[in-house]
A and B are shown apart, each in its own frame.
Chain A
Amino acid sequence: MYIRSAASISPQKTFNNPLFFGEVVEYAGNRLSCIEPDYNEIIDPKLTRRMSRIIKMSVASALACLNEAEIAKPKAIVTGTAYGCLEDTGTFLTNMVEQDEEPLSPVAFVQSTHNTIGAQIALLLKCNSYNNTFVNGSISFENALLDAMMLLAENVDTVLVGGMDEITDMSYAILNRTGLYKRPPGSNLHLFKSASKGTIAGEGDAFFLLSDTASKNNLACIDAVSTFYKPADIAETSRLIESFFAAQSIKINDIDLLITGNNGDTKNDEIYLQLKQLLFDGIPSINYKNLCGEYPVSTSFALWMGANIIKSNYIPEPLNPGGGLKDKIRRVLIYNHYQNIHHSLILISSC
């Protein structure tokens, strides 16, 4: 499964800028917000008036991704989102309470449905193809990738896959109450420098045009995607990761770079530390959540970053894993877990 093109809007300057690393954006608080383009230049303004932020972001990335791949209409559109369209959901819920169930905004209701993003893309492109939306928490994006893999095997030759989740004032307030975020907040660039409780809130989207056609323009190849749920302990986690490698007939040492989902919370990151000792000793590894924050479908950002690293064969200073890197980064493993509930592995390689 080839990644022909990719596009992302994130808290970094990633839109139309695959080598964004040169100017990593620093955030002082514990909430990272997307850096958005001027949508009027990308989407017809008559169409954007109703679109909420997450819809505009996702449509813009989807269009950029298709443009880059020179594909007018993909043969399938699959999206993955844990929270869906939170802004519209919050608006409708608030109105319902404040106005005692009447009258209410029909647009907010219609756009609160999780498949609105995939639907808007289809509507814009007049694309009649298969259109699906996965909403399974932090493996929503991986579910979408699995669907894409099956579609490609079913002779659907191009699949547009996207992962997106947003943070709104309301959702931030709620998640903050659960103690998820760092108190006091600090710079995202120092996220891994001290051992403390809490992570930083993030959001973003990433879209990929996947195909079964080899081309020198492809960014990378997705070799395998796997998820597992609530492993009993670190031994089981380790065993499941080893099975993943065995299934691909490769050894762990065949990995040139590991991208891990450390999020700055001591307890959360302990798992990565243990696995580095048990399995990944000596393999250069980098983190990504200091750039995009923690959110359920963050692996879509990691995949965008990993694919661009493979294509450019370059990791700049801010992310430098500090030695051990081979001249050619051929194989990258993205490993992430969300609150030790859902774990995911995405293996990509140069092609």
Chain B
Amino acid sequence: MDKLISELKEQIAAQLKMKNIKPGDIGDDEPLFGAGLGLDSLDVLELIVLLKQQYKLRVATAEDGQKVFRSVRTMAEYITANQVQTT
């Protein structure tokens, strides 16, 4: 899980073009939206694209996205729970 969380932070920073933020600056449980990192509804959509491109997982609506992307940890948990294991 820690490795996934670490990778996710880098991917988030890249997808959202956060040049001034180092992945280490993003807390595992820090709220991504609102007060925390201050991401908005467009960022939710970018993270949905990230999830699909990197993890082949689909989030159908922006509302579902708000729940999945509450923090980096909730993202990691969603991925772990839903990712199809390839053999």
Q: What is A's interface to B at a CB cutoff of 8 Å?
A: 40, 45-46, 49-50, 102-107, 110
Contact = CB atoms under 8 A, between A and B. Distances in A.
Interface stretch (B3-11, B14-22, B25-33, B71-79): B14-22
Contact of A49 (B17, B45, B49, B53): B17
Contact of B46 (A45, A46, A102, A107): A107
14 contacts: A40-B20, A49-B18, A49-B19, A49-B20, A50-B17, A50-B42, A103-B49, A103-B52, A103-B53, A106-B45, A106-B46, A106-B49, A107-B45, A107-B46
A107 B53 CA distance: 16
A105 B49 contact: yes
B42 A45 contact: no
Contacts of B48: 103
Contacts of A102: 52
B26 to A, nearest CB: 14
A45 B20 contact: yes
B38 interface: yes
Nearest to A45: B20
Interface string B25-60: 000000000000010001001101100110000000
A45 B19 CA distance: 9
Contacts of B49: 103-106
A263 to B, nearest CB: 35
Contacts of A40: 20
Given A45-B20, A50-B17, A110 B52 contact: no
A45 B20 CA distance: 8
Nearest to A111: B42
